[in-house]
Amino acid sequence: MIAERKVLKVHYGLSDIVLSKLEGYDSINYKVCSPTNSFVLKVYPFSDELFALLEGEEKVLTKLRKANGIEVPFTILNSNGTPYTIIDNSLYRLLPFLEGKFISEVEHSTEILESFGKALALMDKSLLGLYDAALHGKEIQWDLKYFKKNKRFLEEIDNPMDRSLVHYFFLHFDENIYPIQDTFRKSIIHNDANDWNVLTQNGRVSGIIDFGDMCSSWLINELAVGLTYMLMGKEEPLKVAAVIIQTYHSYYPLLVHEIDALYYLIAARLSTSVCNSAHAKKQKPNSEYITISEKPAWDLLRKWIQINPILAKDTLRAACSFEKTQKQDLEKQLVQRKRNFSGALSMSYSHPIQMSRSAFQYMYDTNGNTFLDAYNNIMQVGHCHPKVVEAGQRTLARLNTNTRYLYDEFLSYSEKLLAKLPPSLNKVFFVNSGSAATDLAIRMAKAHTKKKKIMVLEHGYHGNTQNGIDISHYKYNHKGGSGKANNIVEAPLPKVFESGFKNENDAAAHFVKETFSRITENEGEIAAFIAEPIVGCGGQVPLPRNYLNKIYPKIRAQGGICISDEVQVGFGRLGAFFWGYEMYDVVPDMVILGKPMGNGHPIGAVVTTTEISDSFDNGMEFFSSFGGNPVSCAIGEAVLDVIETENLQEQARLVGKYLKDELKTLVKNYQEVADVRGEGLFLGVELLDQHRAPGTKLANILKNRLRDNHILVSTDGPYDNVLKIKPPLYFNRQNVNQLINEMDLILGETLKI
Ligand code: PMP
């Protein structure tokens, strides 16, 4: 510090001083204490660019003399009367050390929040119309206008689920902000009103320091940055934001679309912060300072994703007395739906939900509510997972064609998918739905075995095509169904719960015997036995162990093949198993895949053996216009990648176990909660009434009241008395607690214990 001391003595007349180092970003900073005053000395490596930017900063500071009541650190002139001292390629600047407590150190009373809004507004207002070429041309990743620059740090975020959360906000910046960027007002802004740059005295904001991130940006970014830090650690961040914005708006009116942008701009600032922390951590792996300082940003980001963007817009609009966002009229939509669609299409819940968007395990309606999705197993890796979305967008923009050409996606996806299956299942046929896969599976089974009969489980469901309905007892045997077709052989649903058997083994032995006798009755005529590993529509019923391992050989012995319908349970949802059949130590001859395969994009597949596929190759071409197209394959591959990189199968196992254990406490506490069953994040809760009859009414109450409390589950089973819980695999322990607390409350109230 000899050089610094010399500069201070020679150029600023300060000799009797104490020098100590401060945190600094692009300059080396020292606190300078003389017997009478305190200062900050900034030392920068000299460059023309820096010089031009500092000139800009001087211009701004001069302007801010007029910002009434807010102190800023005016540069102290040296003995030559200039604000900079340049020696040996170093540039020195001396600033006063402003008095006051940082806003991070005081309680955030309404007065403080209001004065923060006022301070930002007055500062921005006094910079109105100021132009500076150097600041105008400045490009830093901390300027939200250049948010995308931070994407290069994304891979440096260690936790892959956290990384995807940030990635989500990058994509939504593209969707919601970039297209309207030209409509934002531009201004020179401070751009870093974080809680360690804002000073307070006597319960109000008194000063702002550190103009190093200043730039010419969108005016609204000033508020976005300032809000970001003020919202950290707050129970209800939107309420805090509303107070600040209301005051800002009263001093410097905002435009409605600037207010609307704040949700994504705040998310962008949080993302910028965690991206840069991740990068800095890679540079300085042992810095505790970085780890501690990034925590509040992560906490807020995780909270932010649970806020419906419409709620954010409406709350902030209301704070500035703007009208709320326009909503579609529910009654009108219902009339329209009735006019254009058949009544055969049902809708969930007594009060229909008007959906607007979704993210991971959350869904947002048009009224500003956020729903916790606890039952959509199609969204395996979470709603709108950015990697899946990006894979779709990228490929859709490049090439979409069919399997009569050669392209990488088809081959690469097939390799990855087949690698997840045993070696015997080595031929894949891509289609567009679980139903199309079922249909094809039945055709192939018949072609291979030259037999016609199909053995199905009672209450099973396999698809909506004619073939699908014909083999779905759940459909042909229920309302509107035309009964069992002649070629269908039914096996009883091997359900252990309430079966009267002592244990799973006894139940298995009974059902095996029953099924054997039906096979014997049709000996030599059964082309295929098809079953779901956990029977979904039957009420989330797992098969007893020692069932399939007896049935499969028997079916094969009479010349049939065994099909596992993995549409509901496949792709890691079961936690301990990637595929459902693995639960029972069997290997099928064919699997049917769908739902989670494309995370909402319509893909299905049949995977089978070489022998069966060869029998199907009989001269008639198999062609699907869309099955196996590059876009679908890219999406399917992205889903597999995400499951793997984000360890979602393990997440399903851990969270599934926790959820099952918590549900079991409800079984203990409420007689009506009769059974909890399933694996991983594929669970069913069977409800019975006090007479052990199906608790259909209670199931319906629970489903609808949970919906009213913003949690989505559904019911199933022959009596519709089984709650099905099979959430996106992003579901976490906090989500489990929310679900269990609500269920407990509703059960307590309904059953009046
Ligand atoms: N098999 C099972 C087990 C299913 O649950 C479903 C759909 N619910 C299907 C097949 C049919 O799939 P999709 O709706 O994609 O046609």
The pLDDT tens digits for 139-165 are 999 999 999 999 999 999 999 999 999
Asked if pLDDT for residue 226 goes beyond 90, the answer is yes
312 CB near ligand 1 (under 6 Å): no
> Among 388, 369, 370, 368, which Cα is nearest to 378's?
388
435 CB near ligand 1 (under 6 Å): yes
Tell me the CA–centroid distance for residue 539 and ligand 1, in Å: 15
Tell me the CA–centroid distance for residue 463 and ligand 1, in Å: 5
Query: How far does CA 86 lie from the centroid of its chain?
Result: 51
Nearest C-alpha to atom 1 of ligand 1 is from which residue?
Answer: 462
Query: How far does CA 387 lie from the centroid of its chain?
Result: 11
User: What percent of the chain stands above pLDDT 70?
Assistant: 99
Mean pLDDT over 236-241 rounds to 98
Residue 27's pLDDT is 86
Which ligand 1 atom lies nearest to the CA of residue 537? Answer: 5
Q: Distance of CA 348 to CAs 314, 352, 596, Å?
A: 26, 6, 20
536 CB near ligand 1 (under 6 Å): yes
Which ligand 1 atom lies nearest to the CA of residue 438? Answer: 10
Q: Which residues contact 529 (CB under 8 A, 6 or more apart)?
A: 454, 455, 456, 491, 551, 552, 555, 560, 561, 562, 563
Residue 1's pLDDT is 81
Query: Helix, strand, or coil here: 10?
Result: helix
Query: How far does CA 617 lie from the centroid of its chain?
Result: 42
Asked if pLDDT for residue 67 goes beyond 70, the answer is no
**Vertex 412: Cα angle to 406 and 414 (nearest 5):** 95
Tell me the CA–centroid distance for residue 435 and ligand 1, in Å: 6
Mean pLDDT over 267-272 rounds to 98
Nearest C-alpha to atom 13 of ligand 1 is from which residue?
Answer: 434
Task: Read off the pLDDT of residues 590-616 as tens digits, 9 standing for 90 and up.
Answer: 999 999 999 999 999 999 999 999 999
Partners of residue 22 on adjacent β-strands: 29
3-state SS record for 38-83: EEEEEEEECCHHHHHHHHHHHHHHHHHCCCCCCECCCCECCCCCCC
- Stretch (H or E) spanning 355: strand 355-359
Nearest C-alpha to atom 16 of ligand 1 is from which residue?
Answer: 435
191 CB near ligand 1 (under 6 Å): no
Nearest C-alpha to atom 4 of ligand 1 is from which residue?
Answer: 462
532 CB near ligand 1 (under 6 Å): yes
Query: For a substitution probing ligand 1, which of 432, 461, 716 has the most ligand atoms within 8 Å of its CB?
Result: 461
Asked if pLDDT for residue 548 goes beyond 70, the answer is yes
694 CB near ligand 1 (under 6 Å): no
Tell me the CA–centroid distance for residue 468 and ligand 1, in Å: 9
> Among 449, 498, 458, which Cα is nearest to 477's?
458
Dihedral angle, C-alpha 438, 439, 441, 444, nearest 10 °:
180
Partners of residue 201 on adjacent β-strands: 204
462 CB near ligand 1 (under 6 Å): yes
714 CB near ligand 1 (under 6 Å): no
Within 411-547, strands assigned E span 427-431, 453-457, 488-491, 526-531, 534-535, 541-542
What are residue 221's phi and psi, to 5 degrees?
A: -65, -25
Q: Which residues of 420-438 are buried (b: 16+ CB within 10 A; e: fewer)?
A: bbeeebebbbbbbbbbbbb
Tell me the CA–centroid distance for residue 336 and ligand 1, in Å: 27
> Among 676, 669, 747, which Cα is nearest to 706's?
747
Q: Which two tokens stand for residue 717?
A: 């089973």
Query: For a substitution probing ligand 1, which of 345, 537, 567, 581 has the most ligand atoms within 8 Å of its CB?
Result: 567
Mean pLDDT over 250-256 rounds to 98
Task: Read off the pLDDT of residues 452-481 as tens digits, 9 standing for 90 and up.
Answer: 999 999 999 999 999 999 999 999 999 999
Tell me the CA–centroid distance for residue 605 and ligand 1, in Å: 12
Nearest C-alpha to atom 7 of ligand 1 is from which residue?
Answer: 463
Number of neighbours of residue 45 by Cβ within 10 angstroms: 11
Nearest C-alpha to atom 5 of ligand 1 is from which residue?
Answer: 568
Asked if pLDDT for residue 25 goes beyond 90, the answer is no
Q: What is the rounded distance in angstroms from the CA atom of residue 465 to the CA atom of residue 434? A: 10
Asked if pLDDT for residue 110 goes beyond 70, the answer is yes
Which ligand 1 atom lies nearest to the CA of residue 434? Answer: 12
Which ligand 1 atom lies nearest to the CA of residue 436? Answer: 16
Q: Which two tokens stand for residue 454?
A: 């199909």
Tell me the CA–centroid distance for residue 436 and ligand 1, in Å: 9
Task: Read off the pLDDT of residues 301-327 as tens digits, 9 standing for 90 and up.
Answer: 999 999 999 999 999 999 999 999 999
pTM for this entry? 0.96
248 CB near ligand 1 (under 6 Å): no
594 CB near ligand 1 (under 6 Å): yes
- Rg over alpha carbons for the chain, rounded to the nearest Å, is 32
Asked if pLDDT for residue 66 goes beyond 70, the answer is no
For CA atoms 445, 446, 449, 451, the dihedral sign is positive
542 CB near ligand 1 (under 6 Å): no
Tell me the CA–centroid distance for residue 26 and ligand 1, in Å: 57
Asked if pLDDT for residue 753 goes beyond 80, the answer is no
Q: Which residues contact 264 (CB under 8 A, 6 or more apart)?
A: 169, 172, 173, 176, 177, 309
Tell me the CA–centroid distance for residue 404 and ligand 1, in Å: 27
Tell me the CA–centroid distance for residue 698 and ligand 1, in Å: 26
Tell me the CA–centroid distance for residue 562 and ligand 1, in Å: 18
- Stretch (H or E) spanning 686: strand 682-687
